[in-house]
Amino acid sequence: MTVPPRFLDRRVFVVVGKGGVGKSTVAALLALALAARGKRVLLAQMEPGRRLPELFGLDGELQGPSEALPGVSLMTIEGEASLSEYLGIVLPVKRVHKLVVTSKLYHHFVAAAPGLRELMTVGKIWYEEQRMDGERPCWDAIVVDAPATGHSLQYLRMPQAAATAFGPGLVRREALRVMELLRDETRTVVCPVTTAEEMPVNETLEMYAQLQGELAMPLGVLFVNRVHVAPVAADAVCAPPAKAPALVGDVLRCAREEAGWASINARYLARLHETIEIPTVELPFLFAEEFGLAEVRTLLGTALPGLGEA
Amino acid sequence: MSTIEALVRDHRVVVCVGSGGVGKTTTAASIALWGAMQGRRVVVLTIDPARRLADSLGVGVLGDEPRTVEPAVFTRLGMKVPGSLAAMMLDQKGAWDRLVARHAPSEEVRARILDNRFYRSLSGTFAGSYEYMAIEQLCLLDESGGYDLIVLDTPPTKRAMDFFEAPERIREFLDRRVVRWFVTPYMSQGWSAAKAMNRTVGFLFRRLEEATGVSALAEISDFFSAMSGMFDAFAARTQTMHALLRASSTAFLLVTGPEEQALTETEFFSRRLREMKMSLDAVVFNRVHREFAADPELFPGGTVSRGDEALIEDVLASAGDLDGIDTAWLARNFVDYQLLARGEALRMEQFRSGLSRRLPFVTVPNFESDLHDVAGLVGMHSALFGRGAARRPRRSGSSRPPAKRASSASSGGRRPAK
């Protein structure tokens, strides 16, 4: 299975996966890869979280796009703020806009109108993709760090649902435009992330089926994170010889632990390969006291050949 | 080393919370099994389809009804389980349909909601319904009187607080006063009446309609007018839920991992929990790597560090036959694990410094396999409950924990702040 040609030429990369598998790491990795090609990258998280800002050494809540590194800007996309911004375009008179968004009714409307916030969140990605800075687009690429699987699929399903639910009008028109972007394989690519373990793999296989089926979204590369590799099987690691110092026993214990995880990973990688028809990039488990941007760069180095960018 | 033995013994409801991918489901199942081994009637309510776990318990596919594990499963494994263990899983799909079915005041209202075009295309995207279902199920199990230990595994959402806010949110969502704003203009009184009643409301409605699509509000309005009939039932239930989550017989167990990612989220989470008056009762760290004491004669610095590989290789070479395993790999792997363990220990200590010292704090080692069978669950017991805890015979007398039941708002006192 080869990487889609010119994988990194896409404009929107949506990184999805189960909670805790390393979506933020992969999103950061893609942003670095794109920035290294001279692109202006927007790295957007769809839920307020602190992992990405922390990785890039930014403190506190993210407001608008803030440049974290040359070429990489970070922002949080939030439904309510996006709706307010959107209404600012539709209701250009400042006073009217303010009256609307500060009213109690509006807040109940936003809280209550089902799906509106989700639609606005996805809509904001479209808006950023379209946004121009003079003659050229504001961003050459947008990497989206999506929330955990179930939530992500809700967001991605939203434009279709809104287009069906709402009568002809602005909302439907907007929803259709967003849908067009999400399904356009020349512009958008979805990258699932998983670890090679039971639960994440189960969830990945289910998500994969939905992305391919109902959602009809273009899939790019599956990232398998934290892969352990060992030259021996766990049960082939011998007991320490008699009278060996304690250190030898400790060393063999760690070897058994690593070999155990390596065999679990190998088993679930095989399961993934049985079903998943998109290219897979394996990212090794990194042993480090702390996981920071340097570790993301190391992972990027190992991933590039798999991305066809060696 | 603290354990969570007292915590599980003294509470009827144990809620496992924490970010995704940290082993919440496994921890919940292990606690439930321990309770059953102590002679209690236990049910574990999970949200993750841990198929291998369900298979190994012989309960097949978990569903919306509690399934009791056959005692034969334990007998086959040579285990003594004087209590009972049941498990159930909440299905995310169709959570709203089930809510509507359960709370609609009449068949007609039910049909009207389920047929609403707006509802049909959007109910899959409504937030909070699934979380609400889980907490409602918890209340039902509590009220059934069939169990004296209920272990709840919460969804792995990044914003795990959604889980506890869901009842309130749904209640607000269906609040009469709000619904009236949406319903009134289209129902009995019409637009002009709404305008006369409140010019601003009328104005805002028109603006919002322009912005969102002409028919949208009419659809929403119809949807809300149908849903509003369900408000009373919801309001009553959310009160029960609110009380149960804050009752003194309910314990919150934070499950996390030693990685930066998990800890960053966990800190945020425990703060939010406090703000909502649901304080933590214990912390479990899963998959913690072990740092071995470094022989001071070999490692004068007191720790194993990068650069010590050659030294370790020498020790291995002189130790005797190691079945031909590559000693360079063995040495490198050992240093890797020690570095990892040290980073984890530092982060855990830092995390702990922000919490009360009295809070039980348990570390579960990283096992050499993933834990998805009964033996694996038992393997966690010594870490969770102390060595030998699982084998200790239970005290004579009632297996019911001392804590009082709190299934109504009046008997469910506020938790004392810790």
From the list B200, B219, B325, which residue is nearest A165 (CB)?
B219
Query: How near does any CA of chain A get to the CA of B109, in Å?
Result: 19
Chain B, 299-318: which have a CB under 8 Å from a chain A CB?
A: 312, 315-316
Cα three-residue angle B118-B232-A166, rounded to 5 degrees: 10
Q: Which amino acid is at A231?
A: P
Kindly state the average pLDDT of the residues A13-23: 91
pLDDT at A97: 72
Q: Which of B186-190, B326-330, B406-410 has the highest mean pLDDT?
A: B326-330
Q: Measured between alpha carbons, how far is A213 from B153 in angstroms, rounded to an integer? A: 30
The answer to whether B20 contacts A157, with C-beta atoms less than 8 Å apart, is no
Tokens 């690429």 identify what position? A141
CA distances from B249 to A52, A69, B12, B281 (A): 38, 50, 5, 11
DSSP secondary structure of B160-189: TTHHHHHHHHHHHHT-HHHHHHHHTTTTTS
pLDDT at B413 over 70: no
Nearest to B268 among A50, A91, A251 (CB): A50
Tell whether B141 is covered by a domain.
Answer: yes
- Give residue B186's pLDDT: 45
What local confidence, expressed as pLDDT, does residue A212 receive?
Answer: 93
pLDDT range class, residue B198, cuts 50, 70, 90 = low
Highest mean pLDDT among A25-39, B83-97, B276-290: A25-39
Chain B residues 70-89 with CB within 8 Å of chain A: none
Task: Give the minimum alpha-carbon distance from A202 to chain B in angstroms, rounded to a whole number.
Answer: 8
In a domain, B274, yes or no: no
The whole-number pLDDT of residue B162 equals: 67
The torsion angles phi and psi of A20, rounded to 5 degrees, stand at 85, 5
A168 to chain B: which residues are within 8 Å by CB?
Answer: 213-215
Chain B residues whose CB is inside 8 A of the A260 CB are 367-369
CB contact under 8 A, B298 and A237: no
Chain A residues near residue B22 by CB distance under 8 angstroms: 20
**Which domain range does residue B167 map to?**
5-256+367-391
Residue type present at position B119: Y
pLDDT, residue B210, reads 62
The pLDDT value recorded for residue B211 is: 58
Pick from A161, A248, A257: which is nearest to B122 by CB?
A: A161
Q: Tens digit of pLDDT for each residue in B338-349?
A: 999 999 999 999
- Picking from A118, A165, A242, the nearest residue to B121 by CB comes out as A165
Q: Which of B214, B319, B369 minimises the CB distance to A245?
A: B319
pLDDT attached to residue B192? 44
Q: Is residue B252 part of a domain?
A: yes
| Average confidence (pLDDT) over A7-35 | 93
Q: Which residue has the tokens 């992500």?
A: A152
User: Per the CB < 8 Å rule, is B340 touching A158?
Assistant: no
User: What total number of domains does chain B contain?
Assistant: 1
Q: Do A54 and B260 touch (CB under 8 A)?
A: yes
pLDDT of residue A20: 82
Determine the residue among B255, B334, B350 to mutate to test chain A binding: the one whose Cβ has the most chain A Cβ atoms within 10 Å. Answer: B334
Confidence of residue B415 (pLDDT cuts 50, 70, 90): very low
Q: How confident is the model at residue B302 (pLDDT cuts 50, 70, 90)?
A: confident
Residue B350 contacts A where some CB pair is shorter than 8 Å: no
**Span B268-291, mean pLDDT?**
84
The whole-number pLDDT of residue B214 equals 44
Q: B399 in a domain, yes or no? A: no
Count of alpha carbons within 13 angstroms of residue A125, beta-carbon side: 32
Residue B355 lies in a domain: no
Measure the CA–CA gap between A3 and A177, rounded to whole angstroms: 27
Contact residues, chain A, for B159 at CB < 8 Å: 47
Domains and CATH numbers, chain A: 7-228+277-307 (3.40.50.300)
Q: How confident is the model at residue A182 (pLDDT cuts 50, 70, 90)?
A: very high
The chain A residue lying nearest B26, using CA atoms, is: A199
Is it the case that residue B33 has pLDDT exceeding 80?
yes
Q: For residue A54, which residues of chain B lie inside 8 Å, CB to CB? A: 260, 264
| Rg value, chain B, Cα | 26
Q: How do residues B61-114 score in pLDDT, each as one tens digit?
A: 667 788 899 999 999 999 999 999 999 887 766 777 877 887 788 888 888 888
- Chain A residue with Cα closest to B129: A114
B193 in any annotated domain: yes
Residue B76 lies in a domain: yes
Q: What is the CATH number of the domain that holds B383?
A: 3.40.50
In terms of CA atoms, which chain A residue is nearest residue B126? A114
pLDDT, chain A, mean: 87
> How far is the alpha carbon of A6 from chain B, nearest alpha carbon, in Å?
31
With beta carbons under 8 A apart, name residues in chain B contacting A239: none
pLDDT at position B338, please? 95
Please give the Cα distance from B303 to B292 (Å, whole number): 9
Which long-range CB contacts under 8 A does A155-159 form with residues at least 24 apart? A155/A46, A155/A118, A155/A121, A155/A122, A156/A14, A156/A122, A156/A182, A156/A211, A156/A215, A156/A217, A157/A214, A157/A215, A157/B124, A157/B125, A158/A115, A158/A118, A158/A119, A158/A122, A158/B125, A159/A119, A159/A122, A159/A123
Q: Could you tell me where the beta strands, DSSP code E, fall in B22-68?
A: 41-46, 67-68
**Residues ≥6 apart with Cβ < 8 Å to A19:** A148, A149, B19, B20, B21, B156, B157, B158
Q: What is the rounded distance in angstroms from the CA atom of residue A161 to the CA atom of residue A143?
A: 24
Residue B91 domain flag: yes
| CA angle A102–A106–A108, rounded 5-degree value | 120
Of the candidates B155, B264, B336, the beta carbon closest to that of A51 is on: B264
Is A232–B325 a contact, with Cβ atoms under 8 angstroms apart? Answer: yes
Residue B395 has pLDDT above 50, yes or no: no
Residue % of chain A over a pLDDT of 90: 54
Range picked from A303-307, B115-119, B274-278 for highest mean pLDDT: A303-307
Other beta carbons within 10 Å of B120 = 14
pLDDT > 70 fraction of chain B, expressed in percent and rounded: 70
- Burial of B6 from C-beta contacts in 10 A (0-12 / 13-18 / 19+): middle
pLDDT of residue B409: 38
- In this prediction, residue B190 carries a pLDDT of 44
* Shortest distance, CA B107 to any CA of chain A (angstroms): 23
Q: Is A285 buried (19+), middle (13-18) or exposed (0-12) by CB count in 10 A?
A: middle
| Residue A57: pLDDT band with limits 50, 70, 90 | confident
Complex confidence, ipTM? 0.87
Minimal-distance CA residue of chain A relative to B314: A248
Residue B155 in contact with residue B134, Cβ under 8 Å? yes
Whether residue B369 has pLDDT greater than 90 = no
Question: Are A264 and B208 within 8 A, CB to CB?
Answer: no
Q: Please give the residue that has the higher pLDDT: either A148 or B199.
A: A148
> What's residue A98's pLDDT?
76
Most trustworthy range by pLDDT among A225-229, B47-51, B153-157:
A225-229
Give the three-class secondary structure for A162.
helix
Query: For the segment B159-190, what is each residue's pLDDT rounded down to a tens digit?
Result: 556 677 777 777 766 665 555 555 554 444 44
Report the pLDDT value the prediction gives residue A231, as an integer from 0 to 100.
94
- Which residues sit opposite A227 in a β-bridge? A284
Chain A: closest CA distance from residue B406 (Å): 31
Question: Minimal Cα–Cα distance from A117 to chain B, Å?
Answer: 10
B345 to chain A, any CB pair closer than 8 A? The answer is: no
Least confident of A221-230, A274-283, B24-33, B60-69: B60-69
For an interface test with A, the pick among B159, B222, B261 (most A C-beta atoms closer than 10 Å) comes out as B261
Q: Which residue has the higher pLDDT, A102 or B39?
A: B39
Chain-chain contact of A254 with B334 (C-beta, under 8 angstroms): yes
Place of tokens 């992972």: A299
- Nearest Cα of chain A lies from the Cα of B229 at a distance, in angstroms, of 16
CA distance linking residue B1 with residue A253, whole number of Å: 22
Q: What average pLDDT is seen over chain B?
A: 77
Q: What per-residue confidence (pLDDT) applies to B383?
A: 92
Residue B236 pLDDT exceeds 90: no
A-contacting residues in B 224-253 (Cβ below 8 Å)? 224
